[in-house]
C-alpha cells in the first residue's frame, strides 16, 4: 500500500496565533503543533502564554507577549516571528452594552481589539513580506456578525467588518495564492463567557455547545493544503442554530 501525504498536515509550516494565551487561541495553537506546525504564540498575559507554550507538541515553538492595540508592539511581534505560512487572529474582546448605554471608551476598546489590531497585524505581515506565498490568514469572527442580539452591537459590527475585509483581502492576495477566510462560531465554552450566560445558550443549539477542539479542527483545515481552493469565505460553526 502506498502512503499518501495527509492534506491536513501542517508539517513544515510556521503559524502565528494571536489570543494564544486563552480559550480558542490556546487550543488552536496546541492543535496546530499536533499537526506538525511550528507555532508562534502571542497574547498579553505572560503567565498564561507560558502555559500555552508548555502545552505545545514538538520543537521550535516560540511565544511573544504583545498588546495588539499598540503598533510598536505589532512591529516587534512581526520582527520576532520572521516569515510565517499562516496567521490565526483569535484575539478578541466582547462587552455587553445596549447602544443607549454605550460609551466611546467601550466602543474604542471593541473596535481596537476586534478589528484594528487584526487588520494592522495583517498589514505589517504583508508590508514586511513576512507571510509566505501560498500562506493562509484566518480571522475569528462570530455568529454575532450574522444575527442580531440585543446588547452585542459593537462586537457584532466589528465581527461583520472582518467579513468585508476577508472578501477584499482575498482578492488582493490571490495572485500570491495567499488565502483569507473567516470562521464564525456560536457559543464555545471559553473564558470569554460568563458561566451562567453560557448555560442559557445550551438549549438554543440543536447539536449542543461547541468545543475549542471543534474550532481548532476547522482552523487546521483552513491553514492546510486541504483548503487550497477556498478563499474569501466564512465558515459558520453553530451546532445548527442558524
Ligand atoms: N468563545 C466563543 O464562544 C466565541 C464565539 C464566537 C467567536 N469567538 C471569537 O473567538 C476569538 C477567541 O475567543 P475566546 O473565547 O478564546 O476568548 P478569550 O478566552 O477571552 O481570549 C481572548 C484572547 O484575546 C487576547 N487579547 C485580548 N485583547 C488583546 C490585546 N489588546 N492584545 C493582544 N491580545 C489580546 C487575550 O489575551 P490576554 O488574555 O493575554 O490578554 C486572549 O488570549 C475571539 O475573537 C472571539 O470573539 C469566540
pLDDT digits (tens, 9 = 90+) for 130-175: 999 999 999 999 999 999 999 999 999 999 999 999 999 999 999 9
Nearest protein Cα to ligand 1, atom 47: 92
Q: Which domains does the chain have, with CATH numbers?
A: 14-237 (3.40.50.720)
**Quick check: 204 pLDDT over 80?**
yes
Which of 22, 141, 162 best tests ligand 1's pocket when mutated (most atoms within 8 Å of CB)? 22
The 10s digit of each residue's pLDDT in 91-120 is 999 999 999 999 999 999 999 999 999 999
Give distance in angstroms: CA of 23 to centre of ligand 1.
7
DSSP strand pairing (14-18 vs 38-43)? parallel
The three grid cell numbers given for residue 39, joined into one nine-digit string = 507555532
pLDDT at res. 192 = 86
Decide whether any atom of ligand 1 lies within 6 Å of the 24 Cβ: yes
Share of the chain above pLDDT 70, in %: 100
Collect all residues with Cβ–Cβ distance below 8 Å to 184 and sequence separation of at least 6.
Answer: 141, 142, 143, 145, 146, 159, 234, 235, 236, 237, 238
Share of the chain above pLDDT 90, in %: 93
Decide whether any atom of ligand 1 lies within 6 Å of the 199 Cβ: no
Q: Please indicate, yes or no, whether the overall pTM of this predicted structure exceeds 0.95.
A: yes
Q: Which of 155, 156, 173, 238 is catalytic?
A: 155
pLDDT at res. 1 = 65
In ligand 1, the atom with minimum distance to the C-alpha of 188 is 3
Is residue 140 within 8 A of residue 92, CB to CB? The reply is yes
Active site residue 155: yes
Nearest protein Cα to ligand 1, atom 12: 90
Give distance in angstroms: CA of 218 to centre of ligand 1.
17
Give distance in angstroms: CA of 22 to centre of ligand 1.
7
Amino acid at each position: 500500500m502506498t502512503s499518501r501525504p495527509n492534506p491536513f498536515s501542517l508539517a513544515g509550516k510556521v503559524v502565528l496565533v494571536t489570543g494564544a494565551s486563552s480559550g480558542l487561541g490556546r487550543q488552536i495553537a496546541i492543535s496546530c503543533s499536533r499537526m506538525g506546525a511550528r507555532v508562534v504564540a502571542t497574547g498579553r498575559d505572560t503567565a498564561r502564554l507560558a502555559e500555552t507554550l508548555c502545552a505545545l507538541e514538538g520543537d521550535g515553538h516560540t511565544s511573544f507577549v504583545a498588546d495588539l492595540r499598540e503598533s510598536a508592539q505589532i512591529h516587534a511581534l512581526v520582527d520576532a516571528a520572521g516569515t510565517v505560512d499562516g496567521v490565526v487572529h483569535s484575539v478578541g474582546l466582547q462587552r455587553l452594552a445596549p447602544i443607549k448605554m454605550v460609551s466611546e471608551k467601550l466602543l474604542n476598546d471593541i473596535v481596537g481589539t476586534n478589528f484594528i489590531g487584526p487588520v494592522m497585524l495583517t498589514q505589517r505581515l504583508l508590508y514586511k513580506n513576512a507571510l509566505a506565498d501560498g500562506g493562509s490568514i484566518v480571522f475569528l469572527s462570530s455568529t454575532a456578525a450574522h444575527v442580531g442580539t440585543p446588547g452585542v452591537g459593537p462586537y457584532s459590527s466589528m465581527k461583520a467588518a472582518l467579513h468585508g475585509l476577508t472578501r477584499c483581502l482575498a482578492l488582493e492576495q490571490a495572485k500570491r495564492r495567499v488565502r483569507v477566510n473567516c470562521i464564525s462560531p456560536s457559543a464555545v465554552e471559553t473564558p470569554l463567557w460568563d458561566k451562567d450566560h453560557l448555560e442559557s445558550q445550551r438549549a438554543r443549539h440543536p447539536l449542543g455547545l461547541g468545543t475549542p477542539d471543534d474550532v481548532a479542527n476547522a482552523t487546521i483545515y483552513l491553514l492546510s493544503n486541504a483548503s487550497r481552493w477556498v478563499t474569501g469565505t466564512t465558515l459558520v460553526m453553530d451546532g445548527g442554530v442558524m
